[in-house]
Amino acid sequence: MESESERVEITISSRFENIELVQVIAEHLCETAGLDDDGSHWIGMAVREGVANAIKHGNKLDVRKKVYAIFDLKGAQLAIVISDEGEGFDPANVSDPLNPQNLMKTSGRGIFYMRTFMDKVDYTFTPAGGTQLVMTKNLTHKSDSVNP
Amino acid sequence: MKTSTRTVDGVEIINLQGKITIGSGDSQLRDIIGDCLKDGKTKILLDMKGVTTIDSSGIGELVGSFTTATNRGGKLKLLHLPAKVTDLLQVTQLITVFEVYEDEQEALKSF
C-alpha cells in the first residue's frame, strides 16, 4: 500500500450517464493504491449508489444542478464526499431492506449497499440546502466478497 | 443492455448482456418481462451470464419483474448468475426469493 496522499475532485451535471465517470475514478484510485479488483469494485459500487441518489433523490434529475465528488486518499484511508444541491432528506426515514415487509420492494437498497461496502457512511445537511454524503474506507481491510 | 430471446420447451430464455443500472437497462428489463407476460409467455428464464454491472436499481427491477410474473401466474427464474450479482442478492437476503440455476437443462426441467 502506498503512503502518498492523493486528492481528486469532479463535478458532474445531474445525468445518470455521468455516474460511471465518478465510479471509474473511484475504482482507479483504489487500484492505484494497491487494492485488489474486488475491493475496488465494491467501493466503486458504493460511489455509484451515492451519486445515483444525489442525482435522483437530491437534485431530482435537474441537469442544472451539480453533484460534487471529492476523493481523499491518505495512506490507506480513503474518504469520499458526494454532495448535491437538493433539499435533503431524513436518513431516519429510510426503511431497512432486510425487514421482511420491505424484502420485495423495488427500491430502498442503495444506502444499505453503501453501508455494506464501506467502513462508515454519514450524511450531513447544510443550512443552504443540499446533502453531503461522507464515506470512508480503510483500504487495508481486504474484501474477497461483500463482507461488511 | 443488449438482449436476445429464444424459446425452448415453452420457456422464454432471455439472454441479458451488459449493464442493468439506473437509467441504463433497468427499465428495459421491466419492458421485456412485461412484453413476455402480455404475450402469454409466463415461463421466463433470465440468463444473466453476460451481465457486467448491476446496481440497486437493477436489483430492484429483478425483484419487480419477479413479483409481476408471479402475480400473473408466471414463473421467473435465474440462470448463470455472476458472482457479484449473487453477492448483491445474498447481502439483501433476496437470494432466497429467486430460483437460481447453473445448468440450462436443469433450469428448463424445473418449470
Give contacts of B63 with chain A, Cβ < 8 Å.
104-106
Nearest-by-CA chain B residue for A61: B23
The answer as to whether A22 is a domain residue is: yes
> Domain of B18: which CATH number?
3.30.750.24
Task: Inform me whether the pLDDT recorded for A138 exceeds 70.
Answer: yes
- The three cell numbers of residue A112 are 444499505
Residue A99, φ and ψ in degrees, nearest 5 = -60, 130
- Interface contact A97, partner B, CB < 8 A: yes
Q: Give the residues of chain B that fall short of pLDDT 70.
A: none
Q: How many domains does chain B have?
A: 1
Give me the residue from B23, B24, B63 closest to A106, CB to CB: B63
Q: What is the domain-level CATH number for residue A23? A: 3.30.565.10
Helix, strand, coil shares of chain A as percentages rounded to 5? 35, 25, 40
The minimal CB distance from B60 to the residues A98, A107, A148 is found for A107
Distance from CA of B64 to the nearest CA of A (A): 6
How many domains would you assign to chain A? 1
Assigned domain for A145 exists? no
Residue B6: exposed, middle, or buried by beta-carbon count in 10 A (0-12, 13-18, 19+)? exposed
Domain that includes residue B66, residue range? 2-109
Contact status of B92 with chain A (Cβ, < 8 Å): yes
Residue in B1, B52, B56 to test binding to A, most A beta-carbons within 10 Å:
B56
Instruction: Cell numbers for B62, please give them.
Output: 429483478
Q: pLDDT by residue (tens digit) across A88-104?
A: 877 878 899 999 999 99
A50 occurs within a structural domain: yes
Given a contact cutoff of 8 angstroms between Cβ atoms, the answer to whether A25 and A8 are in contact is yes
**pLDDT tens digits, residue range B51-76?**
999 999 999 999 999 999 999 999 99
Residue A147: inside a domain? no
Say if A14 is an interface residue toward chain B (CB within 8 Å).
Answer: no
Domain contains A143: no
Q: Does A103 touch chain B (CB under 8 A)?
A: yes
Q: Please report the number of interchain residue pairs, chain A to chain B, with beta-carbon separation below 8 angstroms.
A: 63
Which tens digit of pLDDT belongs to each residue from A50-80?
Answer: 999 999 999 999 999 999 999 999 999 999 9
Measure Cα distances from A35 to A81, A122, B18, B35, B41 in Å: 20, 23, 25, 43, 45
The answer as to whether A85 is a domain residue is: yes
Range of the domain at A46: 5-138
Q: Is the ipTM of this complex over 0.90?
A: yes
Quote the minimal CA–CA distance from B63 to chain A in Å: 6
CB B69 within 8 A of CB B76: yes
Query: Does residue A148 have a pLDDT over 70?
Result: no
> Backbone phi, then psi, for B57, in 5-degree steps?
-70, -40
Angstrom distances, CA of residue A5 to CA of A1, B59, B100: 11, 35, 44
